[in-house]
Structure 1
Amino acid sequence: GSGSAGTRSASGPPDDAPSPPAAEPAVRVRVRWPASSDAELKAFELELGGGAPTVACLKGAIERRTNVPAGKQKLLNLKSGRGKGLAADDEPLSGLSSLRKPGFAVSLMGTPDAALAAELAIAAAAPPVVDDLDDEFGGTILALPPAELAENVERVMRRVEKVKVAVLQPPRPGKKLLCLDIDYTLIDHRSTVERPWEMARPHLLDFLEQAYAHYDIAIWSATSMKWVELKMREMGVLSHPGFKVSFMLDARAMITCHTARYGAKECKPLAFIWRNDVFGGAYHERNTIMFDDLRRNFVMNPQQGLKVRPFRNCHRNRATDDELLKLGAYLRAIAELDSLEDLDHAKWERYMRQLRKRQREP
């Protein structure tokens, strides 16, 4: 009858109908992207609504704002709410404690589609790989070392012509050149940390400051220059008062080299530096040493390369890793030699043991 429970008025729902759920508040996320060339994108804020947004929703919003594809984004300090590691795409933002910290901003690494396309175009312009080589690793001795093969020399010179180097500090008279890889050599780039600089290998800045007394410092990474600059800036390498980086190189300066051991792989030919007029002949085979965690990266220059132990799982190994302390001592020990060409850097630890033994002898 009239006025009984559950009746519907002419203008609304039944009197005892449940109230509609309250709308969930939007999630606000601050994002830092220091590598952006657009000042407005170096730091910005996103608002995500629509129920319970996930990390995938956040990446989608970042992609729409920055043109960095969601699949190529690295959100450095966004920890998982389920345990160790970075947050998975399906995790709701409401479950991530980092986002609730006052002043917290997600640190974005990534390259916009347009920039990535430009880099790929440069790589595509490289001469095709000629699969007609063997080397000593495969049991067949090369008629010529990879650095002397005509096709590799040509590839290097093409890079010298096409890739411009920004010289941050001119060569200093009498200084040798120390060329350093980044990932797993200087930093653990896959670690999950609250602050990006925590990825740095122990003693990094002290190592660079001490090396700077005898060596010009170059950084050469197999990633894009935006990532190189971002990583070095976040680590404090580009702003340290005790040393200066002379120049930085990225994947564009690398060439494809074929060997029986590694197949067709990108490598870092030091001839790109030695034959580059921008350095005026200051660097050459006798005064250059390269540190990398991958031996194949210096397959063109095996005598100048030193394979370092990779720095991984920094949260476990930070307290015990002393590789840079030992390598720094080696650099100081060989700094006064007229030439580094007679050294076998693969035996650098033996060299140091023998040196200490000689120093103890009366």
Structure 2
Amino acid sequence: MFMEEPSQKKLKLGDESGQDGGVAEASVVDAETRLEDSVPERYIELVFTWSSKPFTLSIAEVFDLKASLQSLTNVPPERQKIIGLVKGKLPADDVCVQSISGDLRLAPGKKFTLIGTPQGDEIKDPSQLEFLPDVLNDLDIDFSAAPEAAAAYLHDQRNKRKIREISAKLQVNIIHPLREGKKLLVLDIDYSKDVFVLSQFAPGTRAEATTAILDTKPLTSGALPPQECVRPRLHEFLEAVYPHYDICIWSQTSWVWLETKLVEVGMLGTERNYKISFVLDKTTMFSVFSTRNGQPYRHHVKPLQIIWNRFPQYSAKNTIHVDDLARNFALNPRQGLKISAFKDAHTPRAMSDRELDKLAIYMVHIADLDDLNKVQHKDWKNVVRGLRPDFDAPST
């Protein structure tokens, strides 16, 4: 027993006896069937990164892409943010890859980035995050004012070993190509936590976690829309400095949290006049031990040397690290520029904040200097006052 070939099929019009309509061969249907059977699906192999990990997949239709991404990463289609594959939105699910290749220049081996939270890993409350931020405020340390302490950190054998270990296993996902001749701006983005007492190291000391460019307390809790948690003029600041600096975001949080929030606030995946070159998460940091008012305590640092080891075009001469925590500069105090912390978004005081406008003026002003290592960034606001007296008002 066997199945008929499509060309042998007959289509009867009318009842089974053919009394009302007779019999006609379905030539058009057969022709289309033969055409579909004779044209094989065309697959294209693509390469993407997600959560700093590389993946390869072969797809025939846009639907295959979304399904394959979910299979490999457990990120459902409605959460998938695809960066660098095509300009604009993806075509409909039933569009064949070969038509994308022709119309939108999708070539085999094309690389792109996937951003999205896996099913079941949604962040519902800041307390559920796996990595608590360092406490700050009255526990912060200005290492630029303590060169002997900074030198001790730099020459500490444990710290040198940790930098070597992190550098050896560092994998960086380049989101946007690094540009020749540009300096490097490293920006902090962490999440906030309520004020609490640091009893284990400094009993009675009250401290609060903050960030330089976002108020992440309402961002993580959902109290405010993501765009309203952004420090005023953030995007304008990045657009102003981008002609001179490649941009790195360094967060003391997990990669999943970081990429999700960067998309939500519009720093990734949107058409703007700046690009984020790469991001680093908590795995590139390690702990050091400090003393404050006679009390020992541990805190994490962001060692720029691991970036310089990975990308030799950057160095102490052309890197600037902006953070609201001076102690993050422990291993690179001369590259650190401390700005005021941003919090209480949506209050009149926060909405009138112009710290980033001032910072843009300063960073553009020093952009042409050959060696930033010789600049005292601690005095940056005095420089801005000299350049723009109208910005002499106190910061938030």
TM-score by length of 1: 0.61
- 2:305 matched to 1:271? yes
Partner of 1:6: none
1:132-179 Cα offsets, whole Å, 9 max, x none, are xxx989999459431232221110110111231111233211111000
Distance across 2 between alignment mates of 1:234 and 1:304? 29
Taking only the aligned residue pairs, the percentage that are identical comes to 37
Aligned match of 2:283 in 252, 262, 266?
Answer: 252
Q: CA RMSD in A?
A: 3.3
- Any idea what SS the aligned residue of 1:173 has? coil
SS of equivalent residue, structure 2 residue 273: coil
Deviation at 1:37, TM superposition (A): 4.1
Count of residue correspondences: 245
CA contact (8 A) 2:215 2:345 kept: yes
Partner of 1:154: 161
Contact 2:143/2:330 (CA < 8 Å) preserved in 1? no
* In structure 2, distance between residues paired with 1:226 and 1:218: 17
Distance in structure 2 (CA, Å) of the matches to 1:228 and 1:300: 23
- Distance (Å, rounded) in 2 between the aligned partners of 1:282 and 1:217: 14
1:278-332 alpha-carbon deviations (Å, 9 max, x no partner) = x2x1100010001111111111111111111011001113421001100011001
Post-superposition, which runs of at least 4 consecutive aligned residues in structure 1 deviate over 4 A? 65-69, 135-143
Structure 2 stretches lacking a partner, 5+ long: 1-71, 80-117, 133-141, 191-210, 390-396
Secondary structure of the residue aligned to 1:315 is coil
**For 2:240 and 2:75, how far apart are their aligned partners in 1?**
35
User: 1-side partners of 2:174 and 2:298: how far apart?
Assistant: 30
Gaps of 5+ in 1: 1-35, 44-64, 76-108, 121-134, 358-362
Indicate the larger mover: 308-317 or 347-356. Answer: 347-356
CA distance in 2, matches of 1:138, 1:298: 12
Task: Quickly say closer, same or farther: Cα 1:195–1:266, change in 2 above 3 A.
Answer: same
1:304 and 1:235 map into 2 onto residues whose CA distance is: 27
Change (3 A) 1:275 1:209: same
Q: Which residue of 1 aligns with 2:233?
A: 203
Distance in 1 separating the partners of 2:143 and 2:305: 21
What SS class does the counterpart of residue 298 from structure 2 fall into? strand
Taking a change above 3 Å as real, the CA distance of residues 339 and 138 of structure 1, as seen in their structure-2 partners, is closer
Matching residue of 2:341: 310
Aligned to 2:76: 40
Asked if 1 retains the 8 angstrom alpha-carbon contact of 2:244 and 2:364, the reply is yes
1:1-362 superposed matches below 5 A: 37-40=73-76, 42=78, 66-68=119-121, 73-74=124-125, 141-142=148-149, 144-183=151-190, 184-191=211-218, 193-238=223-268, 239-261=270-292, 263-276=297-310, 279=311, 281-316=312-347, 317-355=349-387
**Matches of 1:263 and 1:158, distance apart in 2:** 23
Letter in structure 1 aligned against 2:244: H
Q: Distance in 2 between matches of 1:299 and 1:318?
A: 28
Post-superposition offset of 1:259: 2.0
1:250-281 deviation digits (Å, cap 9, x = unpaired): 100001112223632111000010111xx2x1
Q: Could you say which residue in structure 1 is the equivalent of 2:8?
A: none
